[in-house]
Amino acid sequence: MAADIRTETVTYTAGGASLVGYLAWDASQAGPRPGIVVFGEWWGVTEYLKRRARQLAELGYVALAADMYGGGKTAADATEAGQLMNGLFADMDATSAKVRTAVEQLGRRPEADAGQLGAMGYCLGGALALHAARLGLNLHGVVSFHGSLGKTHTASKGDVKARVLVCHGEDDSFVSAEEQAGFRQEMDELGVDYRFVTYPGARHGFTNPDATENGRKYGLPLEYNETVDRESWQEMKSFWTELFG
């Protein structure tokens, strides 16, 4: 049966903000299926993020592109994106509430199996997906694509329930060797089942076709890499298949 991808705007409140997410699922499937929350880059709930949600729906999952800024806002430029992102890190209690509530919202959907949830994200979103794992949310797995690896919450051994996949570009100048080493040490000490995949020659933003132009426009070391985009997506697909069947 051909896929019948449906989308819906999902509104909810968390962290003192009215949030507008984007849900995608395949209506040709019967019954609940695994759900994945998708956290976006610092630009917000962009068309790129929505496309990723639809692609996950095509794979048989229910996907919620989570709004972290409120009102489904997208940044007009890199300056505004930085300000919005910094606002999240300035109030981690509110940000944690937004992350937690996005997972809860997806779990309440009739299309989703609340016992089979995951989270993933890009850049800022990768950091948020890892944050969800550190918070100990009931997730089977999390995936970070070119995301920050630094701790925004200090977990204790046993807190992290999720398996972790990190897809990282070797030439990503935003993530230092020290940060990578610290992340690996943290995961080892916490006893987390994790996989850290590096891609030679890949820079920050390697999954987003707009990255190269944004890099030129704003003077940032961003670059799309079609090959690595494809390879990392396949890595993610295998990861979810292992977890959810």
Going along 40-169, which residue ranges are E strands? 62-66, 112-122, 141-145, 163-169
Above 70 in pLDDT, residue 1? Answer: no
How do residues 199-220 score in pLDDT, each as one tens digit? 999 999 999 999 999 999 999 9
Rounded mean pLDDT of 143-160?
A: 96
The predicted structure's pLDDT at residue 245 = 81
Q: Are 28 and 17 within 8 A, CB to CB?
A: no
Burial of 79 (0-12, 13-18, 19+ CB in 10 A): exposed
Which pTM does this prediction carry? Answer: 0.97
Cα–Cα distances in angstroms (integers) from residue 111 to residues 33, 117, 236, in the given order: 6, 12, 21
CA pair distance 144, 125, nearest whole angstrom: 7
Pick from 44, 96, 239, 156: nearest CA to 104: 96
The predicted structure's pLDDT at residue 3 = 87
Question: Which token pair is 220?
Answer: 């940032």
DSSP 46: -
How do residues 85-116 score in pLDDT, each as one tens digit? 999 999 999 999 999 999 999 999 999 999 99
CA pair distance 136, 122, nearest whole angstrom: 20
Span 5-244 CATH architecture: 3-Layer(aba) Sandwich (3.40)
Q: Are 131 and 200 within 8 A, CB to CB?
A: no
